[in-house]
Amino acid sequence: MTLDELIAPLEKQGEVTHRHGDVRVSIASLTDDSRQITPGTLFVAVKGERVDGHAYVRQAVEAGAVALIVQDASSVSDHTVPTIGLRDSRRALGLLAARLHNDPSAHLRMIGVTGTNGKTTTTYLIKAMLESAKRKVGLIGTVSYEIGLERIDASHTTPGAVELQQLLARMVQAGMDSVAMEVSSHALAMDRTSGCEYDTAVFTNLTQDHLDYHHTMDEYFQAKARLFTGLTTSGRKSGPKRAIVNVDDPWASRIKEVCPVPVWTYSIREPSDIRAYDVRLSVHGTTFRVVTPSGEGQIDNLLVGEHNIYNVLAAIGVGLNEGLSLDVIREGIRTVRNVPGRFERVEAGQDFTIVVDYAHTEDALVRLLAAAHALKTGRIITVFGCGGNRDRGKRPKMGRAATERSDVVILTSDNPRTEDPMAILKEVEVGVRDMLQADRVRYEMIPDRRAAIEMAIREAKSGDMVLIAGKGHEDYQIIGKQKFPFDDREVAREAVGKLTR
């Protein structure tokens, strides 16, 4: 495709502010990362979170870029290659990548899931359910990206705009018909999903996280809302468009207000279109009855805890919108055994329960502990910490949440990154101390995560439950700027092995 063909739609929208050189140059690929340039590449200078791509224009040309797209034409002193100025190069990046890859999202049923918690779990459920209806479903999310049997380690929950379009194009080539995709608020705020036309958008919930980045809950909401405001019935695709919204969450009404397409609501408590009742929680999973626009049915699933009922309800909404029968949906949901690192049990022959869970927000910890309480037979020993260089406001809140419903709390490091691990623990401790009543709860502060897990496991007696929260499926720990191998599940297994009984 030539540069002028590539920018034609943006030209029509009046986005082009500057032209220089011969725009009939042929474009083989494009990138916003000057290190990724090979001959034939178009370099798009984007003002990012940390760096401004305009500073790398010269490097890009030296590396073989055949053309440039910039936002700030005056900052570009290199006039050796054709250059286009655009009003918003960041938003254009995804649109151009999509166009260069033949608009992959137009050839897929695009299901986007956003919210503070539950995205990964919900996408797993959606994928399994659609597959039981013989659909071919790609997956994009925190744990991995999947195209058929191929698994690619995820760099971000939602990849960058160019990588995302490449990934979608590969899915189309591989014969996928649908995608279950986690859409993070960062990705929405940074326009990584521009160029994607979604068919269904799911809103799981909105609770405090990432306020280091979004500053206020309202700003955080505005980012999430973009997935819904972007839904359009006047797009290029014909299938049914819909939003699936959890109305037990206080932000739901605002999501509904901004939604230009029909909405199905889901809930356990409030009246809604897809509602669970007769809920039974057990160590083996949950069962409940569900009322839907297509009738009523019984759902059994192997995921533990009430929070997972919400994730299942969201998946049911997606399935119904895709035209699946309640019977097929029920079968699909039943096949999901567990999601890696989400209420994942470690069985190493011990006579107490060990659960590894990705809870790393206050709300997730509250729900994890509620699930643990519904199932417990002894004490609850909770090991957790908070990530460094991220939202500090949630630290004491997580401390409070853990202490409120545990018998023993062991504060330890999550990914401390470049912060002092003990300083993070002290901020969590403020919340722990708020909740200490008499001698009911004991707490320890052990920055070394392995030592903390070992202590919890030595402490556990028959029938107790050890909850190891915060890192879930992660198989590394980030200390300073380095990534060290560390897997809570393995460390817990080894710790059980060290017990002499």
Ligand X SMILES: Nc1ncnc2c1ncn2[C@@H]1O[C@H](COP(=O)(O)OP(=O)(O)OP(=O)(O)O)[C@@H](O)[C@H]1O
Report the interface residues with ligand X, using CB under 6 A: 117-121, 142, 157, 182, 204-205, 307, 310-311, 342, 357-359, 363-364, 367-368, 472
360 near Mg ion (CB under 5 A): no
β-pairing verdict for 150-153 and 178-182: unpaired
Find out whether 247 and 258 touch, Cβ atoms under 8 Å.
no
363 binds, among Mg ion, ligand X, none (CB under 5 to 8 A by kind): ligand X
Residue 441 DSSP symbol: -
What's the min distance (Å) between Cβ of 157 and Mg ion? 5
What's the min distance (Å) between Cβ of 492 and Mg ion? 22
Find out whether 70 and 85 touch, Cβ atoms under 8 Å.
yes
The residue among 292 and 308 lying less far from ligand X, judged by its C-beta, is 308
Q: Report the residue closest to ligand X, judged by CB.
A: 118
Nearest partner of 429 among 453, 411, 449, judged by Cα? 411
Site string for Mg ion, 164-203 (x = CB under 5 A): ------------------x---------------------
120 near Mg ion (CB under 5 A): yes
Asked whether the CA dihedral 52, 57, 63, 68 is positive or negative, the reply is positive
The residue among 182 and 459 lying less far from ligand X, judged by its C-beta, is 182
User: 139 to 158, contacts with Mg ion by CB under 5 A?
Assistant: 142
What's the min distance (Å) between Cβ of 157 and ligand X? 5
Nearest partner of 377 among 469, 467, 496, 465, judged by Cα? 465
Number of residues that bind Mg ion (CB under 5 A): 4
15 binds, among Mg ion, ligand X, none (CB under 5 to 8 A by kind): none
Q: Write a three-state SS string for 37-56.
A: CCCCEEEECCECCCCEHHHH
119 near Mg ion (CB under 5 A): yes
Residue 279, Cα to own-chain centre: how many angstroms? 27
* Gyration radius of the chain over CA positions: 24
118 binds, among ligand X, Mg ion, none (CB under 5 to 8 A by kind): ligand X
Enter the tokens of residue 13.
Answer: 């929208």
178 binds, among Mg ion, ligand X, none (CB under 5 to 8 A by kind): none
Residue 265 burial by CB count (10 A; 0-12/13-18/19+): exposed, middle or buried?
buried
The residue among 182 and 487 lying less far from Mg ion, judged by its C-beta, is 182
How far, in Å, CA of 246 to CA of 268, rounded? Answer: 9
359 binds, among ligand X, Mg ion, none (CB under 5 to 8 A by kind): ligand X
The residue among 121 and 301 lying less far from ligand X, judged by its C-beta, is 121
Residue 157 DSSP symbol: S
Q: Which residues contact 9 (CB under 8 A, 6 or more apart)?
A: 95, 99
The residue among 187 and 424 lying less far from ligand X, judged by its C-beta, is 187
What's the min distance (Å) between Cβ of 310 and ligand X? 4
Q: Which residues contact 62 (CB under 8 A, 6 or more apart)?
A: none
121 binds, among Mg ion, ligand X, none (CB under 5 to 8 A by kind): ligand X
The residue among 157 and 292 lying less far from ligand X, judged by its C-beta, is 157
The residue among 368 and 425 lying less far from ligand X, judged by its C-beta, is 368
Residue 58, Cα to own-chain centre: how many angstroms? 35
Enter the tokens of residue 397.
Answer: 């809140």
368 binds, among ligand X, Mg ion, none (CB under 5 to 8 A by kind): ligand X
How far, in Å, CA of 124 to CA of 111, rounded? Answer: 12
Q: Alpha carbon of 241 to those of 114, 196, 224, 255: distances in Å?
A: 16, 14, 18, 15
The residue among 41 and 361 lying less far from ligand X, judged by its C-beta, is 361
How far, in Å, CA of 278 to CA of 130, rounded? Answer: 25
The residue among 117 and 267 lying less far from ligand X, judged by its C-beta, is 117
Site string for Mg ion, 25-44 (x = CB under 5 A): --------------------
The residue among 182 and 209 lying less far from Mg ion, judged by its C-beta, is 182
Q: Any idea what the Cα angle at residue 285 is, between residues 280 and 290, rounded to 5°?
A: 50
What's the min distance (Å) between Cβ of 363 and ligand X? 5
What's the min distance (Å) between Cβ of 45 and ligand X? 29
Binding site residues, Mg ion, CB under 5 A: 119-120, 142, 182
